[in-house]
Amino acid sequence: MKIIKKFNNNQLQHARHERGSGLIIVILVMTFLLGIGLVLLTVTSTGSKVAGNIRTQQQAFNAAEAGFDSAKIAIESSFSNEFWTSFDGHYLTEPAGIDDPLSVSYFRRLTDQEILNYIDPEGDGTPNVANVIFCRQIYVPAEGGGLNPRFTFTAFLIDDEAGGGTPDATDVLLVCIGSVGTGSNMTTTRLEIEIEIETII
């Protein structure tokens, strides 16, 4: 016995339209999966870059802390050896206005890189202005001996009463800039710590 199935014209047209819909669904699924794959690649590569930036920023902070520790030791030594009797005459005053809050050259209005360029435009570690405690001081041992020039700190004193108020040479603002890298790849961190002379009664 032979069974013959008959299709009417509407059923044949409907079957022809369904033939292409499977291909469209496959293309949509593949596009969706490709999009998810690209997002995952972006997220994973961005994560390592963020981790690298955080590590570099931490290294710059460590450099600034090393600058503070070294400057504190140098200042204490200057007082104990009686080279200094107060902070008067040991402030950074160049460029003009670096210690004046109303000046466009006030140190808090400048980036760390701008301050470093004012102090040492050649980048050779020798300051071009007076009263810099440390200038691009390298301190991290390098593999194979010597010191690694990528890690430096700069430290100087700012008269916290220079912009107004009663002059007081027994307290001062110690500014330490830690840096990692050189040129446009430099990452910096700045610490500002108020210090004062201990008076013995």
**Residue-wise pLDDT tens digits, 37-65:** 888 777 776 666 666 678 888 999 999 99
Which parts of 81-155 fold into alpha helices (H)?
A: 112-119
Residue 14, pLDDT above cutoff 60: no
pTM to 2 decimals?
0.72
Residue 152 lies in a domain: yes
Residue 39 lies in a domain: no
Using omega within 30 degrees of 0 as the cis cutoff, is the peptide bond preceding 95 cis?
A: yes
DSSP strands (E only) in the chain: 132-138, 151-158, 171-180, 187-196
| Half-sphere exposure in the Cβ direction for 35 (13 Å, CA) | 6
Q: How many CB atoms lie within 10 A of CB 139?
A: 17
Residue 77 lies in a domain: yes
Residue 38 lies in a domain: no
Domain count, the chain: 1
- Mean pLDDT taken over the chain: 84
Residue 164 lies in a domain: yes
Residue 22, pLDDT above cutoff 90: no
pLDDT average, residue stretch 159-188: 85
pLDDT average, residue stretch 165-185: 86
Among 5-14, 51-60, 66-75, the range scoring the smallest mean pLDDT is 5-14
**Which pLDDT does position 199 carry in this prediction?**
62
**Which pLDDT does position 16 carry in this prediction?**
56
Residue 189, pLDDT above cutoff 90: yes
Residue 92, pLDDT above cutoff 60: yes
* DSSP code at position 199: P
pLDDT average, residue stretch 67-72: 94
Residue 181, pLDDT above cutoff 90: no
**Which pLDDT does position 90 carry in this prediction?**
92
Residue 12 lies in a domain: no
Segments forming the whole domain that contains residue 111: 58-196
Residue 53 lies in a domain: no
**Which pLDDT does position 134 carry in this prediction?**
95
Q: Tally the residues of the chain.
A: 201
